[in-house]
Structure 1
Amino acid sequence: MFGFLNCNKPAGFSSRDLVNVIQRRLRGKKVKLGHCGTLDPLADGVLVVAVGPASRLVPFVHETSKQYHGSFRLAAESPTGDVEFEPTLFEDHPIPSLEQIESACREFTGSIEQIPPAYSAIKIDGRRAYDLAREGQQVEVPPRTVTIHSLSVIRYAYPDFELSITCSTGTYIRTLGIDIAKSLGTTAVMTNLCRTRVGEFKLAQSHHIDMIREQPLEEMLLPAITGVTHLPKMIVDAEQCQRLINGLSLEDRQHQLPTDPIPKHAAAVRADGILQAIIAPKRGTWTPKRVFKT
């Protein structure tokens, strides 16, 4: 098996829980699995699971943008930034207008700096930040730079508002909503989160947990190329495929790849659409970085 499963993770499941369901379906088979971006247990939506050799493509899937639908409640605060704990409500906080929220969203579009929440899966000295936080330890998570490609208000009826977000990997939607609220002189908690897209993997085409438990996984498996459609593509013939399998570099004789700027990676694809390798530039040629002997 070589490809990706586009799964619809239900709320209440951890990302690992869903991977374990697939692992049990494959019991007795030596098939490696890896998911492409953790979703909190309280969140639902697209969780992409790499199957077999496609697990080596996970870092490249991380390069793609993600879309979310997030719901927030203003004038509320909790230790986790969501409703895992009962929020504290503040009746004396200012009530922002829709125009003010939309203006704040514009300020948070583009390259921004975030401090991820203490209750997050980030590792601090080898341990998950949320484990340290639950032990009552003071957790200092270093800031990170993320990109918000687009950010818009879908609905606002005080104290609740909903956002549509397109962002880079590593963005904490909880933190984004809280930071927007703080810029308006109040606070917020995230009440719901749904991931609607990861790269080419969309919620509308995802598979629910019952389907994953009951139906043949092979029928749901998407080609490995689906995870790297953002990379430039070089069509390779049989001779070039053999060179890649042997670890030898290629020349871009037909000038299929851009040169200004030269991409860090490209996808070497057979004429039948099967991904043969991920290649990288080296001294005027393209050398194999991940080779798939399909």
Structure 2
Amino acid sequence: MGVGRRVICGLKIAVFTSFVNACVTILSMSDSTTGFLLVDKPAGWTSFDVVAKLRSTTGIKKIGHAGTLDPFATGLLVVAVGREATKQIDRFVKQDKTYETQFKIGYTSTTGDPEGEIQPVDDGGKYDAWPNKERVEQAIKESFLGEMLQKPPMYSAIKIGGKKLYELARQGKEVERKDRRITIYSFDVIDYKDAVLTAVIRVSSGTYIRVIAQDLGEYFGLGAYCLQLRRTRIGDFDVKDAHAIDQVTKENWQTFLINNSDLPSQPKSLIKN
């Protein structure tokens, strides 16, 4: 091979090597800017507030989350960052969710939570007849486990006729809502004292814990609302692995990303027994 041909061949190899290295760099950049962030949402923030904050922090507009948390609630929010991650968000939206919660029995709330108008229920002076822990556990066993129908609350982000239900509720309007089929997999009573029930509940996607509180109160004819709510798990993700929103900065957010390739091919909670 002549000197000229060797030089040309060497140039081609160099160009090809540079092209391959560039592709690897681009792919690495792509991988480092798309994935999932586990955020421990604080009380007072909407789920959209978290998304808006992360858009500002990351500079990426394509961001979504796997399941809304009410403003009063805290806990796990799985956030998809980047186009590739948001394409997979449905994998996690439909997964089972676990909550730590407290129900206040004997009171009602217009919103089913502490942010509504709270009213005591007239028990006719029969406070001693209120359920004890054993009666509450028996009621749960009989009526609050397994598959059932649940009517979504008016104060929710569900859209009917192009309008979000909570927008209609704030106008004093109530519309017909279709029942949804849900499953309560477990409902473990942790404590029951001074008419406050503390429990851990695992449910299917789309279940409203506020409605469970209201239904339990109505079961005893006393009313109830959800006093506190914290989401601890979504499928295989745990809030113990989540980060406070103020810990996620422009300098470190990429180090918190769970890469798509690190996700299970099929989340355990989606595998039917």
TM-score relative to the length of structure 1: 0.75
Could you tell me how far 1:63 is from its partner in structure 2?
Answer: 2.7
Query: Aligned ranges for residues 24-173 of structure 1 at < 5 Å?
Result: 24-27=56-59, 29=60, 32-52=62-82, 53-92=84-123, 94-106=129-141, 107-173=143-209
CA gap of 1:191–1:214, structure 2 versus 1, over 3 A, is: farther
Q: Secondary structure of 1:112's partner?
A: strand
CA contact (8 A) 2:105 2:225 kept: yes
Report the Cα distance in structure 1 between the residues aligned to 2:193 and 2:208, rounded to whole angstroms: 23
**Greater RCO, CA 8 A, separation 6+:** 2
Is structure 2 residue 54 aligned with structure 1 residue 22?
yes
User: Sequence identity, in percent?
Assistant: 38
TM superposition outliers: structure 1 runs of 4+ over 6 Å: none
Instruction: Report the AA paired with residue 96 of structure 1.
Output: P
Report the Cα distance in structure 2 between the residues aligned to 1:182 and 1:115, rounded to whole angstroms: 14
Report the Cα distance in structure 2 between the residues aligned to 1:231 and 1:153, rounded to whole angstroms: 25
CA contact (8 A) 2:58 2:250 kept: no
Would you tell me which structure has more strand in proportion to its own residues?
A: 1
Report the Cα distance in structure 2 between the residues aligned to 1:192 and 1:19, rounded to whole angstroms: 23
Instruction: Report the AA paired with residue 23 of structure 1.
Output: R
Report the Cα distance in structure 2 between the residues aligned to 1:195 and 1:54, rounded to whole angstroms: 22
CA gap of 1:228–1:155, structure 2 versus 1, over 3 A, is: farther
Report the Cα distance in structure 1 between the residues aligned to 2:268 and 2:112, rounded to whole angstroms: 35
CA contact (8 A) 1:8 1:46 kept: yes
**Structure 1 regions of 5+ residues with no counterpart?**
233-257, 262-294
CA contact (8 A) 1:61 1:227 kept: no
Could you tell me how far 1:214 is from its partner in structure 2?
Answer: 5.8
Report the Cα distance in structure 1 between the residues aligned to 2:105 and 2:94, rounded to whole angstroms: 32
Report the Cα distance in structure 1 between the residues aligned to 2:215 and 2:256, rounded to whole angstroms: 39
Is structure 2 residue 223 aligned with structure 1 residue 199?
no
Report the equivalent of 1:287.
none
CA gap of 1:199–1:231, structure 2 versus 1, over 3 A, is: closer
Report the equivalent of 1:216.
252
Report the Cα distance in structure 2 between the residues aligned to 1:116 and 1:174, rounded to whole angstroms: 10
CA contact (8 A) 1:4 1:227 kept: no
Report the equivalent of 2:22.
none
**Structure 2 regions of 5+ residues with no counterpart?**
1-32
Report the Cα distance in structure 2 between the residues aligned to 1:91 and 1:73, rounded to whole angstroms: 14
Match of 2:267 among 230, 249, 252: 230
How many residues are aligned here? 233
TM-score relative to the length of structure 2: 0.80
Could you tell me how far 1:227 is from its partner in structure 2?
Answer: 6.5
CA contact (8 A) 1:64 1:169 kept: yes
Report the Cα distance in structure 2 between the residues aligned to 1:7 and 1:49, rounded to whole angstroms: 7
Report the Cα distance in structure 2 between the residues aligned to 1:151 and 1:228, rounded to whole angstroms: 29
Report Cα offsets for 1:90-142 as digits up to 9, x if no partner.
25164111111111212211111101111111111111100000011122221
Report Cα offsets for 1:246-283 as digits up to 9, x if no partner.
xxxxxxxxxxxx9xx9xxxxxxxxxxxxxxxxxxxxxx
Radius of gyration: which is bigger?
A: 2
Report Cα offsets for 1:204-262 as digits up to 9, x if no partner.
11000111246511100012243754269xxxxxxxxxxxxxxxxxxxxxxxxx9xx9x
Q: Secondary structure of 2:188's partner?
A: strand
Report the Cα distance in structure 2 between the residues aligned to 1:155 and 1:87, rounded to whole angstroms: 23
CA gap of 1:75–1:59, structure 2 versus 1, over 3 A, is: same
